[in-house]
A and B are shown apart, each in its own frame.
Chain A
Amino acid sequence: MGACSSSMEERGRTTLNDVAAAIEGRFGNDISRTPASHGCALTYSLTKPSSLPAVCRSLFWDCGCLLGGIIAEEQPGRWQMHYVFLLLLSGWIDVVLTLPIETTTVPSIVAEVHAADWHEREIEDLFGIRFENHPRLGDFVLHDQIWHEGIDPMRRNFSASPAQLGKQLDLEWQPLLVVGDPGSFAMPVGPVYTGGLGESLHFLLETVGEDVIRAIPRLFYNYRAVEKIAEGRTVPDALLLAERFAATSAFAHSLAFCQAVERIHSVEVSARAALLRVLFCELERLRQHVAAISAICDSTALAVPAAQTSIITEQLLRASGILAGHRYLFGLNVPGGLSRDFKTEECRKLLASADEAERELRVLEKRLRYSSSFLDRLEDVGVVKGANARDLNLVGPIGRASGQHCDLRKACPYSGYERLTFEVPCETEGDGYARLRILFAEAAQSVRLMHQAVDALEPGPVRIPCEGNHPGAALGWAEAPRGATLHWVSIDEKGLVERYHAITPSFNNWLGFFMAAENFAFQDFPIILATWGLSATECDR
């Protein structure tokens, strides 16, 4: 843990000024610095699109920034593309590319920043903007079996109403297989498998019988076009969508959404609301990590710990229900704070449940650590090396298990996390066992944070009015249980949502999943999946 902890600080030593000097020194003619906006620490406007890959490369590799994501927005008469990077401990850097609306191609940065792959594919599929020299476009969000090319649902002129588009199942569709071993074939898994208790997603396991050479995930079965249908809704209505597209991390996503709205309205939430938000955030993380541990135990057919952890999960769900009135913490976050206040003794009761959960987890962790048959199945399974994790910009516990030491609670604090003491556990092995250890360690840290939050509660309002017409756009972010989430909200003059884009940790990490799923034994596949603990619905939106 020690070796990693220093790395965030070490990388954090690069300051914004260093980055600004480096970028402006190299690309002074191609970019111009604009006043920092949207919650970013540094904003550049790119005047020469062709230098975009070089700028991104410089930021990602030379300055050591992480990729936040790419946000495309169709504004009247122009495209605006935000390439958002995160400088650890300093803040977000936004490189804005503005193009006339007629533009159909944009230089691809995939060759420089590999982690941008899926962001560009998504934009291509939904907006119809082609990325020059991108190796594989099309057939991503909109499955080519059902959707013809040329449908760009995120364009303004596309109606989200349930119009029939003459959809015909394309029976001639063929998957793209890459393994050319003699006798290789693709074993299809899903989209409905394990009796549906797994989420809907489809894999093609390319294999020559026993050893799977490569697993290709096919996602977006759960794509409900949340970002499209959010457009034109009021902020509270859009909040419902932000909360409900991925219920297992609902609070973190709604928090990121609310923070973006608050930033547009320049509203600072009260200290009490911020601490209560921390309490719920950590409760959600604790519950989600326990559920993930349960899934890992289940995948190795370790029935008793799986049952024990699922009981803990249920106890935490019930504790949430008692305190918040909802088992998945829906309806709590509102722009400006929380929808209602909670008594301190109620919160203490919740802490008692959390303490109980932590105690049980500690016993369980010790027992699991001595179950060699269990560890045999986790160790050296689904390994992602540190360099690959950096390359593919893995976030959350998975990134931290591969030495990718980034946690937004420390790297870019929000909601008062900077005032709380906690550690960000980190491992370097990058295998299934490292990911399990991270989950246990983070669960303990969450309980610690919950205590601090409740102890620091002081009387005060929980909700600052956050209404009125403030057109604008901003970023909101939070460290969801599965990793960093970044929400972009843009509001028009009428107070309606103009563009909403959620960059989720599962979306980030599914891109890197293939790295862990190469050359493995078929029976390890469920274990690799469980140790990654990714959510399809969080990725699909």
Chain B
Amino acid sequence: MVSVTGASIVLFFLVCAAGMGLSALCGRKRAPVVIAGAGAIASVLVVLASAAVLLTGRSYEAALWTLDGFGRLTLRLDALSSIFLLTAGIVYFPISLFVRSFLKDQQGSDYPARRFGVMYFALMASVALILMANDAPLFLISWECMSILCFLLINFELQSQTDKAAGYIMLAMSEAGFLAVVIAFLVLGRGAASFSFSALSAAAGSLSPPALWSVFLLGFFGFGVKAGLVPVNFWLPRSYTAAPPVFIPVFAGVTLNLGFYGIMRLNADLIHASYGTGVLALITGSITALVGILYATTERDMKTMLAHSSIENAGIIVAALGAFLIYRASAEPVAAAIALSAALYHMLNHSVYKTLLFQGTAHVEAATGTRDMDQLGGLSRVLPGVSALFLVGCLAISAVPPFNGFVSEWLTLQSLLRSAVLSSTSVRIVFVLCGAALALTAALAVTCFVKTYAMNFLGPPRGAWEPQLRTRKGVPFPPACLAVACLLLGVLPTYVLPALNRAVEPLAGASITTALVQPFFTANARNGQLPHAFLQDFHNIGAQSGRRVLPGRGLVVLLRGHNANPVVFAMSTAYALAALAILLLLTWFAVTRLTRRRSVVRRPLWAGGIPRLLPQMTYTATGFSNPVRVVFQAIFQPNITEDTRQTVAVHFRTAIHRQREETHVVDRLFLQPMGAAMRWVARLLAGMHHGRLNAYVTYVLAFFLLVLFLYRGT
């Protein structure tokens, strides 16, 4: 029987190949349509395939061919892969459509759309292959393909020397990460029958704790490079800033997730990681989140700001993953399941809203020619549609209900609060500190995105930019899809969680559907799944409203406790949205009724009596975030490099210039010392290369003797 999944996957690869071929062969004018059409079809197929797996719960498996020395290469689409594949499909769809409008704008210039198309589909296929690979060789080959394609796509629209440098830094870091992953697989595969994942997983049980630790560390930081974890993330803001606007959503929405996939697959699925590794992941994640949001808040370039914000979200996801590992190692399956579902949910959410925000940024840049938040302002009048969608993205990423960011951040914090069940006091303290760091992160995220929205879309324009493009009143379709997805993922967590449960249950050992999604719709007093009194209480406050209309188990996410504490936590964004809508409507109705007879007089803006409030008299983005910069001075360590006062006579200032230079904390504490150490080693080695033949002969002799000594026994 040919399953839906199988058919979709085969078709997907065919469409990708066709897309590559067509975009290489068709005329330049046709290329945008071809890319958009084929891309949309391919993403729908991907969604179909992964949705089928998640709905039926049946994994798809297919053997490809046997490679000498590596065994059989197989494809396997299990629940974990499906979630990532589904995410990729969801964001690939609007991205593909967005590519069309973007490339159409570029048509006048000699934008290499065809070359772009080929690489676009190649990347799509390699991402799918990574997610479906069921053995290390296939996984690594497609991973390497993906890395190189990413590098090529970053350098695709080369604009400056720093962009080129950004590309090389990224390539170097991905290769370093790749190397670490290869070693991790080699260590893991030492005792395994083959390099297939099932064999590796079986072999992991017999590994010694130090070997397990080394596999974990190599994998964690190897994949952490892609996921943007501190301290191996310094490539990320640089390359995001350099990447062409059309490609950057792919970066943020798809390839970033591959890092999480790698960590989950290797460190959570293949090996049964220990308690300590979880603590490490939790701490790393929290630090990453805090550092990411601090730099996002003080950044003025929209793209770079969103890149730092991606780092922040990666931190949240990895922190939740760390909590999962700790709970699993201490045999708390329900808490582990909550943490893992929070991580997966947040990954999905982040992909959706970050893609939305990047597309909004691309629209802003296209309309104004700048991404500098100190210059922008008042765009809600120029681009009302984009402004509304961007607002949805900002609300979602700031974790404001009813949008999706709220659900996953709420679940993350709730899962951290479950640390009360742990026995070790020191780990509980770590949980408390990390929870505080994540709470601070959430608060700063609100600051950051209030700033982003307010400075770009409200107030007067602050810079000398001219609306380059015709003002666009309409609502662009691709980001609108994502905005709707933000709302649906936020309002219907009780339908998303069971889907995630397909992947969570095998890994955590407990079902979040059972634990969190209470059967309010399907339960009644007769079948006795829930105690009668409990059901009655929740019936009274409306947890069962909608049961006749909607399928499923209910709209309330609720964790039940013991008798003394029947409800540990509960949340329903759907009902909250409904209540909010009703209240707003009532208020609106009441206000319009009450003020019907009143006339509204609009008075001019009050600015202390000056003739006109000039744009340069309003807050800039830098000014808005300056308090954060001042409070966290210890982290930013700003360096005032230049403080020039041009003066006529001693008192007459004609200009004051100060150049503030900040080195990113990771660069300062990790990259620069590492670079210095490298140079030191290189200088040491260079000392040996002085060109005297007899010295080289001595080296060879010494090495030979060393080998003889080492292998003296064999």
Contacts and interface: CB of A to CB of B under 8 A. Distances in A.
Question: Is any CB of A less than 8 Å from a CB of B in the complex?
Answer: yes
Interface of A: 110-111, 114, 117, 135-136, 145, 169, 171, 173-175, 177-193, 202, 204, 206-211, 213-214, 388, 391-392, 512, 514-515
B651 interface: yes
A190 B608 contact: yes
A174 B610 CA distance: 12
Contacts of B374: 182-183
19 contacts: A117-B649, A117-B652, A135-B654, A136-B652, A180-B656, A180-B658, A181-B660, A183-B623, A184-B623, A185-B618, A185-B623, A188-B608, A188-B610, A189-B608, A208-B623, A209-B623, A209-B630, A391-B650, A392-B651
Interface in B533-587: none
Contacts of B620: 183-185, 208
B621 interface: yes
Interface string B614-658: 101111111111110110000000000000000011111111111
Contact of A208 (B614, B626, B655, B657): B626
Contacts of B26: none
Given A114-B650, A210-B630, A185 B619 contact: yes
B210 interface: no
A519 to B, nearest CB: 10
Interface in B317-347: none
Given A175-B614, A182-B300, A192-B609, A210 B656 contact: no
A182 B610 contact: no
B10 interface: no
The A interface, classified by DSSP as helix, strand, loop or mixed, is loop
Nearest to B612: A171
Contacts of B651: 114, 117, 388, 391-392, 512, 514-515
Contacts of B618: 185
A393 to B, nearest CB: 11
Contacts of B433: none
Contact of B656 (A174, A187, A214): A214
Nearest to A182: B622
A202 B623 CA distance: 21
Given A111-B649, A117-B651, A209-B624, A178 B611 contact: no
A388 B660 CA distance: 28
B626 A188 contact: no
Contact of A178 (B616, B630, B654): B654
A135 B613 contact: no
A415 B444 CA distance: 66
Given A178-B654, A179-B655, A183-B621, 17 more contacts: A110-B652, A135-B652, A177-B616, A180-B655, A181-B657, A183-B300, A183-B620, A183-B622, A185-B618, A185-B620, A191-B609, A202-B610, A204-B617, A209-B622, A391-B651, A512-B651, A514-B651
Given A117-B652, A208-B623, A514-B651, A188 B657 contact: no
Contact of A213 (B613, B616, B656, B659): B656
Closest 7 CB pairs of A and B: A183-B622, A209-B626, A209-B623, A135-B648, A192-B609, A180-B657, A183-B620
A214 B623 CA distance: 15
A173 B611 CA distance: 9
A191 B620 CA distance: 23
B464 interface: no
Contacts of A117: 649, 651-652
Contacts of A174: 614
A58 B626 CA distance: 47
Contacts of B650: 114, 388, 391
Interface string B353-397: 000000000000000000000100000000000000000000000
A129 B625 CA distance: 47
A202 B608 contact: yes
A388 B652 CA distance: 12
A117 B651 CA distance: 10
Contacts of B656: 178-181, 206, 213-214
Contacts of A214: 653, 656
Contacts of B655: 178-180
B638 to A, nearest CB: 11
B710 interface: no
A189 B609 CA distance: 9
Nearest to B646: A178
B617 A186 contact: yes
A178 B653 contact: yes
Contacts of B607: 188
B400 to A, nearest CB: 25
Contact of B608 (A173, A181, A191): A191
Contacts of A213: 656, 658
Contact of B660 (A171, A182, A204): A182
B484 to A, nearest CB: 35
Contacts of B625: 209
A95 B618 CA distance: 47
Contacts of A391: 650-651
Interface string B652-670: 1111111110000000000
Nearest to A187: B617
A454 to B, nearest CB: 43
B384 to A, nearest CB: 26
Nearest to B613: A188
Central interface residue in B374, B618, B627, B651, by most chain A CB within 10 Å: B651
Contacts of B623: 183-185, 207-209
Interface string B592-611: 00000000000000011111
A177 B656 CA distance: 9
Contacts of A110: 649, 652
Interface string B126-138: 0000000000000
Nearest to A205: B617
Q: Which of A117, A183, A189, A391 has the most CB of B within 10 A?
A: A183
A208 B649 contact: no
Which of the listed residues A182, A204, A512 has the most CB atoms from chain B within 10 Å of its own CB? A182
Contacts of B608: 188-193, 202
B649 A114 contact: yes
Nearest to A213: B656
A188 B609 CA distance: 10
Q: Pick the most buried of A111, A185, A188, A206: most chain B CB atoms within 10 A of its CB.
A: A185
Nearest to B614: A174
B452 to A, nearest CB: 14
Contacts of A392: 651
Contacts of A179: 655-657
Contacts of A186: 616-617
A172 B48 CA distance: 60
Nearest to A200: B609
Contacts of B658: 180-181, 213
Contacts of A184: 620, 622-623
A206 B622 CA distance: 13
Given A180-B657, A181-B658, A183-B374, A190 B622 contact: no
A191 B609 CA distance: 6
Contacts of A175: 614, 616
Contacts of A191: 608-610
Contacts of A207: 623
